[in-house]
Amino acid sequence: MGTERRSWPTAETWFDVIWVVFAAANLVAMVVFPTWETVPFHFIWVSLTLLYGFRVWPAKPTMITLGCVILGTGTLILFDVAHGTQPIDEITEVPLMSAMFLAMVWHARRRLAVMQEIERVSETNLELLERERRFVQDASHELRTPITIALGHVELIERTAKDPELREDARVAIEELLRLRSLAERLLALASLDEAEPLHLAPADINGLVEDVLRRWGPAAPRTWARGEFDAGVADVDRDRVALALDALVDNAVKHTNPGDRIELAARRRNGTVLLAVSDSGPGIPQASVAHLFDRFARADSGRSREAGGVGLGLAIVKAIAEAHGGTVHVRSSPGSGSTFELALPVPAPEREPSGAGGRRA
């Protein structure tokens, strides 16, 4: 009832006032024209039912309104029956119309209760999602420092240990700590993207950005690296986030290929859209897995991906970065034929600024 008291009256009360005036006019018509009073009588009841269908009143005003209408129309009909201007069976119209109105009240209030419950559940879910996002962000921040400290100590042990078994154990620990650090960094990146932080758009050399990725990954992964078409030129993008998306795509290609397999990077511009493509000659992706490939923690090949250190967040980050730019990411793949991931960013050519002008814009 507390909610009902707060919602009455509302900004739409003027509509109720109009109906009161309309009902009063029809009551007057029942008095002035007693021989055809059933017409204004039905106008009152039908308009009341229609009004309630659109404007669900709180319980107390509803009962007061219903009582007033029953009293007013019933009294006038009884008066006319007593004076012989209406047959006595007309009085049965009052309980019949009351029953019709109460049926409308029941259905309308059921619908209102369902809508309020849906709204409550939605608000609860939003609160839970916000708490989850904050937890992920805070946990990722807190994990980075102890992981970095532990990694430094274990690397020192590996370098100084004389026992081969101890060095091997240290290497295993380093690999696991690196995996944890990668997970923390990607969770932090996703939390940042979920906050819908504004992009830091600035003119960036897209070809050079892809070349940087090739230079960094070439020595790190023994694959056959190929340079595809490079004609993307300069475009306004958030350079850091696009570089993060490219790294995630290349990391995914490395994890799903073997030494000697081919990985090709390309950058093209088509009709105001920059297309960044990463292709590999790996085993491909089953069609059943493609639909959920960009979901968080999704894996096309869970066993192999886990062995390579993947946590199923890289492609989710790519999708979030693409959508932040108003773009998309697609994959073309089939088992045995490799895969091609294409990041499409709808970015126009950067505006030319006067000599000496600079700065970043969001």
How many angstroms separate the CA atoms of 3 and 112, rounded?
12
Tens of pLDDT, residue by residue, the chain (362 residues): 444 444 444 446 777 788 888 889 988 888 888 777 678 888 888 888 888 877 787 888 888 888 888 998 888 888 878 877 778 877 888 888 888 888 888 888 888 888 889 988 888 888 887 777 677 666 766 777 788 888 888 888 888 888 888 888 888 898 888 878 777 777 777 776 766 667 788 999 999 999 998 888 888 788 999 998 888 889 999 898 899 899 889 988 998 899 889 999 999 998 889 999 999 998 888 887 777 788 766 655 543 444 444 556 788 889 988 998 999 999 998 888 889 999 999 876 555 544 444 443 33
Q: How far apart are CA 120 and CA 352, in angstroms?
A: 50
Domains of the chain and any CATH numbers: 1-197 (no CATH), 202-345 (3.30.565.10)
Q: Is the pTM of this model over 0.85?
A: no
Q: What is the pLDDT of residue 335?
A: 86
Measured CA distances, 249 to 57, 90, 282 (Å): 56, 79, 13
Question: ∠ at Cα 287 (283, 288), nearest 5°?
Answer: 115
Distances (CA, A) of 228 to 211, 266, 268, 277: 11, 5, 9, 9
Cα distance between residue 115 and residue 118, in whole Å: 5
Those residues with Cβ within 8 angstroms of residue 41's Cβ, 6 or more apart along the chain or in another chain: 26, 30, 73, 76, 77, 93
- Say if residues 93 and 77 touch (Cβ distance below 8 Å): yes
Spatial distance between the Cα atoms of 111 and 115, rounded to a whole number of angstroms: 6
